[in-house]
Structure 1
């Protein structure tokens, strides 16, 4: 019994080496694409003066929710500027936005597929359990092996770590739509695609947006850990503070992460607000009525 040991680690290492040899070209292509997208978004956030970025985010927050969220967004970003963490925060924000966008683009279609197919749901569920329960640091090791050191392995690890709640909450939202509403759509001859677009997705939007919110929050938490593999940004600042036992730097970088998390949380939560959906629908209906009235007034009268 002393020599009884399952060489699982050796098998995994052999698999990783095999994938690196066979799919090295694919990993290089993915690294190039993600690196280019990240560099472009980082340049877009860092190059303009900080006050211009603050105005853009405040205006977007005002459009989404109102003046209170706009004021809170502006004050939160101004605090980041005052603690001299602006460029690091923008690096982190770029990484989070890219990783969260990719995780969302993967998780929502997979969640819809799982909601519409029980066989897919049974296969996806244990995979999601694995992704959610494995320690976060474990994601970094294969990411470094396949993609080297820098922002790209941090993004890959963040995507894998964050996509599980998006799949689960999308599936939950689609399955939670009242069956009678779906049957009514079928009775009127709607195709499955139209039922999905016009009935299931709108009714499941709060649950889906909650999943997107969780993706962003998990992305932020993983981005800090990704600082250990050279991802930079606020994660790199925290790692540097940890190496120097610099409490002040750690607190400044940490509070900057909190500000970004609060702003992104409020923005994504606002999109799932039913009151906002009703306001947008009313504004759209009023605009359509005005367009219709204008069209009628332009009709020439005979005589």
Structure 2
């Protein structure tokens, strides 16, 4: 048994800090919650109201533009049609809305932080351990304060998803910018480009494959959170998996699980295709 005189606990400190946060910034968190809830409910309503054939056509157009391969496009559209055929279309749209909102927030946070980390060694030194914690800390741990601040529902699910999914994008944005050839940057400096011109004209375009890989990883990690998100009130395919677990309905859980896999495959192929070099028709 470990000696008690060497033991201590940080639980009281953390609880006091969270309580103080709730008391002082409760109104701000409520406003943020209402804004995010409006955004996700509006997007979800739009996706669910759109005709299924229009959604499939839109996905097909995006897939063809990304891959320039008709066979891959037809396979993606066919897989999504299969999800609708087993009666999970509405749940698919709910999951897609949650994932899109979480991914957009992760992109808005991750890319600027990655750029700042690439420009500041001190910030990178402070940021990397924090990203390690965000990726390795069990999601149920940071669900507790998120639930205290925002309650049950879609909003805490979005925040939990962003915390889990943003680190890969920050890391890969930082990596992509730092890997831009020094000779290229020296040439740009010689032509008198300022920092903004260097960033938007050279660094970001050259780092785009790495950034797209980060967006791809962020999207995949966001999808991996849908079942956990369903435990705190988020609807969608994760809820179907959870119901399958609770009722020991293997078939129901398998259908929803395969639907999540299909959505992940479609998004993965599209984002990977956009992250590659310029497309060649017929390939």
TM-score by length of 1: 0.89
* In structure 1, distance between residues paired with 2:78 and 2:114: 36
Q: Return the offset for 1:69.
A: 3.1
Match in the other structure for 2:182: 179
CA distance in 2, matches of 1:106, 1:68: 35
Q: Is the contact between residue 139 and residue 161 of structure 1 (CA under 8 Å) also seen in structure 2?
A: no
Are 1:188 and 2:194 an aligned pair?
A: no
Would you identify which runs of 4 or more consecutive aligned residues in structure 1 move more than 3 Å?
none
SS at match of 2:74: helix
Of 57, 60, 77 in structure 2, the residue corresponding to residue 58 of structure 1 is 60
CA contact (8 A) 1:154 1:226 kept: yes
- SS of the aligned residue for 2:4 comes to coil
What is the match of residue 205 of structure 2?
202
Structural mapping, 1:119-130, within 5 Å: 119-130=122-133
Does residue 1:8 correspond to 2:6, yes or no?
no
Instruction: Report the alpha carbon displacement of residue 9 of structure 1 after superposing the two structures with TM.
Output: 1.3
Runs (5+) with no aligned partner, structure 1: 280-303
SS in 1 for 2:180: coil
Shift in Å, 1:4: 4.2
> Deviation of residue 216 (structure 1)?
0.2
* Residue 262 of structure 1: aligned partner: 265
1:60-113 CA deviation, whole Å, 9 max, x = no partner?
211222223321221111011111111111100000000011001100010000
Q: TM-score, normalised by structure 2?
A: 0.95
Q: CA deviation at 1:147?
A: 0.7
1:74 aligns with 2:73: no
Preserved CA contact (<8 Å) 1:238 1:253: yes
Greater Cα offset, 50-59 or 31-40? 50-59
Answer yes or no: is 1:104 the counterpart of 2:102: no
| CA positional deviation for 1:3 | 5.0
Secondary structure at the counterpart of residue 274 of structure 1: coil
From 144, 160, 168, give the equivalent of 2:171. Answer: 168
| Higher relative contact order (CA closer than 8 Å, sequence separation 6+) | 2
Q: In the alignment, is the contact (CA less than 8 A) between 1:140 and 1:226 conserved in 2? A: no
Higher Rg of the two aligned structures: 1
Q: CA RMSD in A?
A: 1.3
Aligned residue in 1 for 2:249: 246
Residues in 2 aligned to 1:3 and 1:229: alpha-carbon distance in whole angstroms: 38
Aligned residues: 278
Query: Aligned equivalents of 2:17 and 2:101: distance in 1?
Result: 28
Cα distance in 2 for residues equivalent to 1:60 and 1:133: 34
